[in-house]
Chains A and B, each alone.
Chain A
Amino acid sequence: MSTILNQIKKISKIDIRKDSFYCDIIILMVVSIVIGSLLATSISMAANSYFSKTLASLVGDYGEYDILIQSREEMKEDTATHIQKIIEEVFPGARMKEGPTITGKTSFFIAIPEEYRTKQTYEELGKTFGSIPGGAGVGVLTEPRLTIRGVPEGARAMLMDTIMKIDGVRFAFRDGSSIGVVLSSIDKATVVTEQIKTVLKQYQVIEISFPVGSEPQNPIRMGESIGNAMESQLKLEYAKNVSVDGKNDDMTYAVSTMMELKRFLEAYASKVTITPNAGEKLMRGDSLVFVGTASPLVAGNPVDKGNVIVQITTVQSGGRAEGIITQGDAAALINNQGYRVSNNVVGDYVGTATYNNPRQQLGTALTETTKIVEQIPGFAQDSQNLNTIATQSLNNYGNSINAMEQTLTSLQAAGTTIQTATSGLANIDTTSLQNQIDSSSRSMGGLINTLQVLKLVNNDVGGTVDNLVSSQQNLSDLKSGLAALDNVAADARQAKGSIDNIVRNGSHTIATLRTFDVDGTKKNMNSINNRLSQLGQLNIPLVSGQLQYMAASVPNLKDEEISHSVSVLDKFIAGQVIPGERIQILTTSNISTDAVAPLVYNQVGHKNVSLYSTDLGIIEPNARGELYSVLNEVRAVLSGMTAIVLTILFLALDHTGIMTVIRRNKVEQKKQMKGWRRLLATVVATFTDAERVYGMAIGAILLTTMFALGRGGIPYLPWIAVPFVGAFIGLVVACYAEKISPMSSDEMMAGQSLGLSIDEIMREIVIPSGRPGVLQKLNQRKMKFK
């Protein structure tokens, strides 16, 4: 370390006056760096320019063209004609250039006028150029542009809307399965890219995968259901089913309809339940045959077209199985003995079947409903009549109560009379009293009738009616009693008690009756009357007709037709873009799949699903941008390599002479050491000898500066390592300095003996005798003996 410090001290004491050799070295360094940087930059730029030009000749300059159309080579003339025609019609002012033909495909580049660079244009490219003969594909070349791939179909619209709001984005468009983003300027590319990345990070796509056999019947509806549940139950700001783009794809509608149709048909398919015989075991997928309309089944015979075949779809834990009819119809399942079918041959008798035919049940239900509907007009009319009677009764309600109250008063008076006459019952005349009781009983009878009607409307009056009936009965009893009074004077006291009882109950009843809201009830009755009127105005024939139509429209299908139709629908749905085994939910990135899992299990009804989280999308490296980036890297590598080569050259040609002089001039002070100390001293000397320190310093300065000025860059070589590489090169060159620039010590010594300074020795003796290089050239202007 001290040795290095000493070297640094020496360097700090160096005389760098204008005429000194050290000044020459500084000038040399500057000139070397300038030449080196220029050379490195020139070489790299030349290479870059060549590659860029080559690239531009293939695919045009950056942003020069907007559309790339490829067609088969043999059709290229027709293609060119068609393209020209199309752009003249659709994009007036556009120009076309035929590009290279590679692997049998000819490229055509089209530059469209600025006003046509719109979202609509790019989204309709396929349509616009779809009719080109031999067309193999249409691509977008417009720059500056970003491409986002991997975005679920259903999330593209939302993402495009979000991206369109970013400053610097001109518009976003659907580019096949990706999203293309056209920028307003290249300067915005970095900012927009970062902002899109931020947006992408805000969301995640939770994929719910279903294994075979556990798929939901309608994944679209299921996805929507899960999304809604996530929003409401997990309080998520955003959760939408993005498995498909339900808003923009006609095929989605079709598939969704197909799935609903399948569900509809399956709902009307007969469900056959089979109870296996003892010892028999049914498996899912097994087929059983029933005699149906054909001849009795015989084991070993082939299945007849008149037979009914049931395929097992579910096997319950108890062994009972459920299945669907794949041949024939449930109506033919008269004989319910089922035989196993194997290779279309009747096998053993395995169980008995019961079935449930939803079509038949629905038809029956609709027919019955039609009958009910047809009764509605008469029912309404009767109800209206009853309502009218009830209203009239309500109108007499007050009078009836008053009459009843009056009766009770009379009864009470009669009771008193009875009490008075108790002692001389023989003198009592009960005739007028009986008449009075009859009158009261009639009045009460009217009231009871009224209340009986009211009871139909308001059940609360039920108790009152009962009380009145009871009171009427009491009156009847009283009358009987009075009648008997004549005969049984002894019962006179008892009659008084009965009267008192009647009066007490009657008073209570009247008090209750008085609380009854007659007006409110009348209002309700009016309302009921109105509704009944409306009911009566219903177009019952129409309803009845429709019900009959519905009954008639219940699928008039055989079960086998339903089974085959479902099978066809399955094939269609499976061939579409909607994967039944996967649902994609776009949601915010602040929730884990573990948190979502319970909700999903609940929605799908089982746990036989897998949940994964994926990114919303990835910004795809722009191929052209990447190519230019690679070219830029190549340029940097060339520049860096040139800088390294030039560093070696400069060191070897210009500095080895100096290193040799330094080496010759140094005083050898070898210390006697042994063992590891000697080894250590050797290693230290390798790095601390003056000429090596000089070499390392010059190498580091040259390479680092040329690297920086020439914008060099070598893969896997970080900037911080460049000075070390330079120093290493300097060290290696210093080690071989004397071999590269063998210097005549005799000549140097002659110079010293003549009293020449080190500067003069270098200029007149060392440098001119050394390797031809920049230093020698620079030195010539100061040499006195040229």
Chain B
Amino acid sequence: MLTIENLYKSFGKVMAVNDFNLHVQKGETVVLMGPSGCGKSTTIRTINRLVEPDRGTISVSGTEITKLATEQLRQIRKRIGFVFQQFNLIARLTAVENVMLGLVMDGISREVAYDKAMIALEKVGLEKRAEHKSGEMSGGQQQRVGIARALAFEPELMLWDEPTASLDPILVREVLVIMEDLAKYRASTMLVVTHEISFAIHVADRIVLMDKGSIVEEGVPENVFGSPRSAIGQQYKELIEYQQLTNARTLSGKNIA
């Protein structure tokens, strides 16, 4: 579904992504984790070329994105949903308009777009807040609108760029529930950048750990967090153990190790 090979991206002297290689199967949920500034967001943004990569190839369903012209890129972006950390809603538009925006711009009539948008909002439980603007909603609601906007196109690939990072713990749950549902029903392939370890443990099919722009370790959550091979993995393991000591409960009630 998604293949990233030899991806490089630098900002000046800083090498944000350094020879990054990843293959994601269709319907798979891959969680990208790593310390802040390790290049996770840059990597995920290069996939739909919100950030232009310096080198490497990125293919989505066999389409090499890095070689696409502007118009083709626009078309493929419609097949890739993107959820931002800061929600990135259009402030002047209502929730439903935010969701409709991409659809209408794609040539879909307003009526059809509205219906689709309302369905998407229903999925995230916000159909009753459809006419509210972002300023009138909580952070969690805004992010759910963002998710609905990404889902409206029924994308084959969903990219999540730390969707809960800007939310308080109570609101995080609103979002994670939706994400879990999406993952559970394999509605689309998901690549998630997050620091939510519990989410990663419970939802991810595969964990990819990054450090200094490169993958340092990848595997199923049990291996990565249970028997880490990398220092980053080890740190995550210690963190989980610490959390377990202080709070025996996990999100789904499972015990690790």
Residues of A contacting B106 with CB < 8 Å?
Answer: 755
> With A and B bound together, what is the CA distance between A757 and B50 in angstroms?
13
Is A317's beta carbon under 8 Å from chain B?
Answer: no
Closest to B102 in A: A754
Contact with B along A764-786 (1 / 0, CB 8 A): 11001100000000000000110
Question: Pick the contact of A769 from B78, B91, B104 — CB < 8 Å?
Answer: B91
Is B88's beta carbon under 8 Å from chain A?
Answer: yes
Is A744's beta carbon under 8 Å from chain B?
Answer: yes
Is B225's beta carbon under 8 Å from chain A?
Answer: no
Check if B86 sits within 8 Å of A746, measured CB to CB: yes
Contact with A along B78-93 (1 / 0, CB 8 A): 1010101011111111
Q: A-B contact count, CB below 8 Å?
A: 75
> With A and B bound together, what is the CA distance between A747 and B76 in angstroms?
19
Check if B78 sits within 8 Å of A746, measured CB to CB: no
Q: How far is the CB of A574 from chain B (nearest CB, A)?
A: 92
Q: Name the residue among A667, A752, A755, A785 with the largest chain B CB count within 10 angstroms.
A: A755
Is A299's beta carbon under 8 Å from chain B?
Answer: no
Closest to B89 in A: A750
Check if A744 sits within 8 Å of B105, measured CB to CB: no
Check if B78 sits within 8 Å of A764, measured CB to CB: no
Residues of B contacting A681 with CB < 8 Å?
Answer: none
Closest to A761 in B: B105
Contact with A along B86-121 (1 / 0, CB 8 A): 111111110001001110111000100000000000
> With A and B bound together, what is the CA distance between A309 and B184 in angstroms?
146
Check if B77 sits within 8 Å of A752, measured CB to CB: yes
Check if B105 sits within 8 Å of A756, measured CB to CB: yes
Check if A784 sits within 8 Å of B92, measured CB to CB: no
Q: How far is the CB of A14 from chain B (nearest CB, A)?
A: 13
Is B52's beta carbon under 8 Å from chain A?
Answer: yes
Check if A755 sits within 8 Å of B74, measured CB to CB: yes
Check if A667 sits within 8 Å of B52, measured CB to CB: yes
Question: Pick the contact of B88 from A670, A747, A764, A784 — CB < 8 Å?
Answer: A747
Residues of B contacting A750 with CB < 8 Å?
Answer: 84, 88-90, 146, 149
Q: How far is the CB of A10 from chain B (nearest CB, A)?
A: 14
Check if B101 sits within 8 Å of A753, measured CB to CB: no
> With A and B bound together, what is the CA distance between A785 and B131 in angstroms?
13
Check if B48 sits within 8 Å of A753, measured CB to CB: yes
Check if B101 sits within 8 Å of A754, measured CB to CB: yes
Check if A785 sits within 8 Å of B102, measured CB to CB: no
Question: Pick the contact of A757 from B48, B74, B82, B153 — CB < 8 Å?
Answer: B74
In chain A between 695 and 752, which residues have their CB closer than 8 angstroms to a CB of chain B? Answer: 744, 746-747, 749-752
Is A668's beta carbon under 8 Å from chain B?
Answer: yes
Residues of B contacting A654 with CB < 8 Å?
Answer: none
Question: Pick the contact of B149 from A667, A754, A764 — CB < 8 Å?
Answer: A754
Is A760's beta carbon under 8 Å from chain B?
Answer: yes
> With A and B bound together, what is the CA distance between A547 and B87 in angstroms?
135
Check if A747 sits within 8 Å of B102, measured CB to CB: no
Residues of A contacting B97 with CB < 8 Å?
Answer: 785
Residues of B contacting A784 with CB < 8 Å?
Answer: 104-105, 110
A749-B88, A756-B105 known; A670+B50 contact, CB < 8 A: no
Is B12's beta carbon under 8 Å from chain A?
Answer: yes
Is B75's beta carbon under 8 Å from chain A?
Answer: yes
Check if A755 sits within 8 Å of B102, measured CB to CB: yes
Q: How far is the CB of B50 from chain A (nearest CB, A)?
A: 6
Check if A755 sits within 8 Å of B104, measured CB to CB: no
Closest to B49 in A: A752
Question: Pick the contact of A756 from B11, B92, B102, B110 — CB < 8 Å?
Answer: B102
Check if B77 sits within 8 Å of A670, measured CB to CB: no
> With A and B bound together, what is the CA distance between A768 and B90 in angstroms?
10
Closest to B87 in A: A746
Closest to B78 in A: A755
Check if B52 sits within 8 Å of A747, measured CB to CB: no
> With A and B bound together, what is the CA distance between A765 and B110 in angstroms?
18
Check if A768 sits within 8 Å of B82, measured CB to CB: no
Closest to B45 in A: A749
> With A and B bound together, what is the CA distance between A746 and B149 in angstroms?
14
A753-B50, A754-B101, A764-B105 known; A746+B88 contact, CB < 8 A: yes
Question: Pick the contact of A749 from B12, B70, B84, B102 — CB < 8 Å?
Answer: B84
Given A747-B91, A753-B84, A755-B75, 18 extra CB contacts under 8 A:
A668-B12, A672-B13, A744-B91, A747-B90, A749-B50, A750-B89, A750-B146, A751-B101, A753-B77, A754-B102, A754-B149, A756-B74, A756-B105, A764-B90, A764-B101, A769-B90, A784-B105, A785-B104
A selection of 15 A-B contacts at a CB cut-off of 8 Å is: A668-B12, A744-B91, A750-B146, A753-B50, A753-B80, A753-B84, A753-B88, A755-B75, A755-B105, A756-B101, A757-B70, A764-B105, A765-B90, A785-B93, A785-B101
By Cβ-Cβ distance, the 3 closest A-B pairs, closest first, are: A754-B102, A750-B88, A755-B77
